[in-house]
Amino acid sequence: MLKLYKDKNVSLKYLKGKTISILGYGSQGRAQALNLRESGLGVIIGLPSKSKDRKIAVKDGFKVFSPEDAVKKGEIISVLAPDHKHKELYEQSIHKNLSPGKTLVFAHAYSIYFKLIKPPENIDVILVAPHGPGELVRKLFLEGKGVTSFIAVEKDYSGKALDKALAYAKGIGSTKAGAILTTFKDEAIGDLFGEQAVLCGGLAELLRSGFETLVESGFPPENAYLECVHQLDLIVELIKKYGIAGMFQKISQTAEYGSYVSGKKVVNKNQMKNVLSEIKNGNFARKWMKEYEKGMKNYKRMKRYWESHLLQKTWERLTKLLS
Ligand SMILES: NC(=O)c1ccc[n+]([C@@H]2O[C@H](COP(=O)([O-])OP(=O)(O)OC[C@H]3O[C@@H](n4cnc5c(N)ncnc54)[C@H](OP(=O)(O)O)[C@@H]3O)[C@@H](O)[C@H]2O)c1
């Protein structure tokens, strides 16, 4: 059974009067820091001296410290630096400055579940993982709404770890939409799988393959883009509003019948299962850490591939034409 918490079941009192140190001021860091502060909680920021985001945090009116000092000063330490940097951040700045009773908060269970970080037993370790980028967490908060999130408890030294996770979720606006209880294991695996196989990786490859198939058969790139990519948001909107079966009722019957007979031909579920195995057995996390430690050569090559692809150039041309 889904365990869902809304505003009315949750109290901020478990965080009131405590200092929340947010390490990182990027997508999640900025949104969460601003939302928590506007929920009446005390927030400071921890960033390395060379971080480009220091200026933004200062401009937003926050006191900014080194990560070490922010960990020393805070009772609640929210680790919102990129996942692949958590290990060195923990070893260099967090570990030696933790004292009994402090709380570590994560927005993704990755570094705890895959054991890049092994925190001591005498602290709380919790997860508050919003289901959306920071920009959305901030936008919906300002609109008086919220983004749902997964919450979980890995270590409950204080006996109040779940209350703190819920209060944190409320502080960032999540309990307006709903905070859903899960485990570090399920969030770590499920989140990686969803983004790799479906939402980001799988979707990008589906769109690229569709676009290239039409272009290679002689279609102008603009036409291929309009047919395979441009209308995506409309379909997503229908799915969110009516479900997948409902979306099929809203498109033409020709599109509906074609989808039933052809859709499954272009997706390989066995490969999805392989992706899931690589995540579950830790190979993906090991590969990604190795890539980071070796200077991200492959990562940068793949990034350049997408940036210079005809799909991106076509998006640029069409966006100018249609604006
Ligand atoms: N973005 C999302 O959609 C999303 C959604 C849910 C959960 N999450 C999770 O949220 C966490 C943060 O991700 P993000 O996307 O917000 O990252 P991000 O946008 O890349 O921002 C990372 C921030 O951390 C700073 N940083 C880098 N090294 C640091 C260090 N050693 N100490 C302190 N700060 C450091 C960066 O500063 P500089 O760049 O100036 O170095 C930047 O301000 C991750 O665990 C991620 O999985 C993200």
Measured CA to CA in angstroms, residue 3 lies from 181, 186, 240, 315 at distances of 6, 14, 21, 41
Rounded CA-CA distance 88/84 in Å is 9
Tell me which residue of 39, 50, 47 sits closest to 68, measured CA to CA.
47
Pair (137, 26) in one structural domain: yes
Strand partners, 20: 43, 76
Rounded CA-CA distance 128/62 in Å is 22
**Atom of ligand 1 at shortest range from CA of 89:** 31
Single out the catalytic residue among 84, 86, 108, 230.
Answer: 108
Pair (317, 243) in one structural domain: yes
Pair (243, 211) in one structural domain: yes
Strand partners, 152: 127
**Atom of ligand 1 at shortest range from CA of 88:** 31
Q: How far is CA 12 from the centre of its chain?
A: 23
- Give residue 194 CA to ligand 1 midpoint distance, Å: 19
Q: Are 310 and 215 in contact, with CB atoms under 8 Å apart? A: yes
Protein residue with least CA distance to atom 47, ligand 1 = 108
- Give residue 225 CA to ligand 1 midpoint distance, Å: 32
- pLDDT score of 110: 98
The residue behind tokens 């709404």 is: 145
Rounded CA-CA distance 129/131 in Å is 6
Domain with 170, as residue range(s), is 4-183
- Give residue 46 CA to ligand 1 midpoint distance, Å: 12
Pair (211, 137) in one structural domain: no
Give the domain-ending residue among 141, 158, 183: 183
Measured CA to CA in angstroms, residue 22 lies from 40, 67, 192, 260 at distances of 15, 9, 23, 47
Protein residue with least CA distance to atom 13, ligand 1 = 82
Protein residue with least CA distance to atom 42, ligand 1 = 26
Rounded CA-CA distance 265/211 in Å is 17
Give the domain-ending residue among 183, 202, 231: 183
Q: Which of 23, 27, 140 to mutate to test the pocket of ligand 1 (most atoms within 8 A of CB)?
A: 27
Domain total in the chain: 2
Pair (230, 300) in one structural domain: yes
Protein residue with least CA distance to atom 31, ligand 1 = 89
Catalytic residue list contains 108: yes
Q: Are 151 and 179 in contact, with CB atoms under 8 Å apart? A: yes
| Helix H or strand E encompassing 318 | helix 310-322
- Give residue 312 CA to ligand 1 midpoint distance, Å: 25
3-state secondary structure (DSSP) of residue 126: strand
Pair (230, 140) in one structural domain: no
Pair (13, 89) in one structural domain: yes
The β-bridge relationship of strands 149-155 and 124-130 is: antiparallel
Pair (60, 94) in one structural domain: yes
- pLDDT score of 1: 84
Give the domain-ending residue among 141, 163, 183: 183
Q: pLDDT tens string for the chain (323 positions)?
A: 899 999 999 999 999 999 999 999 999 999 999 999 999 999 999 999 999 999 999 999 999 999 999 999 999 999 999 999 999 999 999 999 999 999 999 999 999 999 999 999 999 999 999 999 999 999 999 999 999 999 999 999 999 999 999 999 999 999 999 999 999 999 999 999 999 999 999 999 999 999 999 999 999 999 999 999 999 999 999 999 999 999 999 999 999 999 999 999 999 999 999 999 999 999 999 999 999 999 999 999 999 999 999 999 999 999 999 98
- pLDDT score of 126: 98
Pair (196, 152) in one structural domain: no
Decide: residue 265, CB within 10 A, 0-12 exposed, 13-18 middle, 19+ buried: exposed
Rounded CA-CA distance 59/175 in Å is 28
Q: Which of 21, 22, 28, 32 to mutate to test the pocket of ligand 1 (most atoms within 8 A of CB)?
A: 28
Pair (237, 172) in one structural domain: no
Pair (200, 316) in one structural domain: yes
Protein residue with least CA distance to atom 12, ligand 1 = 80
DSSP string, 239-258: HHHHHHHHHHHHS-HHHHHH
Task: Return the CATH number at 104.
Answer: 3.40.50.720
- Ligand 1 cavity residues, CB under 6 Å: 23-29, 46-48, 51-53, 67, 80-83, 85, 89, 107-108, 129-130, 133-134
The residue behind tokens 């969030």 is: 187
Pair (171, 198) in one structural domain: no
